[in-house]
């Protein structure tokens, strides 16, 4: 390979490329599968398992007819939650029309709840479908809703291997659950309870 074909790293990432970045190097251990059982066929899906627990134990925030909202046990940021169908399906295309409508409507409800409860400046919303695309639980579809604040990234994860989380997951779950209950009628989303 000639030196001419090697791109210089002096300007990486380019300072004017227009993208914001959510760097999460602390999650590499999770992504690479360290401490995960090698045979996942015997391990129960965490989203299916959460449905068998109390809402507080399972970190479930809200129950719709076809989907539910749950806190992320390995959050990218404070308040990170996920919208999941009750059915154990892995791909967005596996949802029927009623599930798909409620899946996306519940996502907009989640953003509205976060706006009222946590007052973020923005959100990252997304789905990783398949293990190769970064889905930690590839067999059960889930959409991430991650609140973001100006300046929420700092040096702690990089230099100290620590992410500061100013609120406990249980407290965040309780606050969001109250917000979902209060606002779900505005979205014409029935509760399963």
Give catalytic residues, as residue numbers: 142
Rounded distance between C-alpha atoms, residue 145 and residue 70, angstroms? 10
Rounded distance between C-alpha atoms, residue 81 and residue 111, angstroms? 10
The secondary structure of 56-105 as a DSSP string is HHHTEEEE-SSEEEEE-SS-SSTT-EEEEESS---SGGGS-HHHHHHHHH
Rounded distance between C-alpha atoms, residue 38 and residue 57, angstroms? 26
DSSP label of 160: I
Query: Tokens representing 181?
Result: 């209950």
Residue 176 contacts residue 81 (beta carbons within 8 Å): yes
Question: Is it true that the peptide bond before 79 is cis, omega within 30 degrees of 0?
Answer: no
- Residue 21: name the closest of 9, 13, 29 by CA: 13
């Amino acid at each position: 390979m000639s030196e001419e074909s090697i791109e210089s790293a002096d300007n990486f990432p380019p300072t004017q490329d227009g993208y914001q970045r959510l760097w999460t190097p602390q999650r590499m251990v999770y992504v690479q599968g360290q401490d995960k059982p090698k045979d996942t066929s015997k391990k129960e899906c965490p989203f299916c398992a959460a449905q068998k627990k109390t809402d507080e134990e399972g970190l479930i925030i809200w129950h719709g007819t076809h989907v539910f909202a749950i806190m992320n046990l390995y959050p990218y940021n404070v308040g990170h939650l996920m919208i999941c169908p009750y059915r154990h399906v892995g791909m967005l295309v596996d949802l029927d029309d009623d599930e798909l409508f409620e899946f996306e409507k519940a996502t907009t409800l989640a953003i509205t709840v976060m706006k009222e409860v946590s007052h973020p400046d923005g959100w990252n919303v997304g789905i990783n479908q398949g293990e190769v695309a970064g889905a930690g639980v590839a067999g059960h579809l889930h959409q991430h809703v991650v609140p973001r604040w100006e300046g929420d990234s700092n040096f702690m994860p990089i230099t100290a291997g620590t992410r500061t989380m100013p609120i406990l997951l249980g407290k965040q779950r309780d606050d969001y659950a109250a917000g979902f209950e209060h606002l779900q009628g505005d979205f014409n989303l029935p509760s399963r309870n």
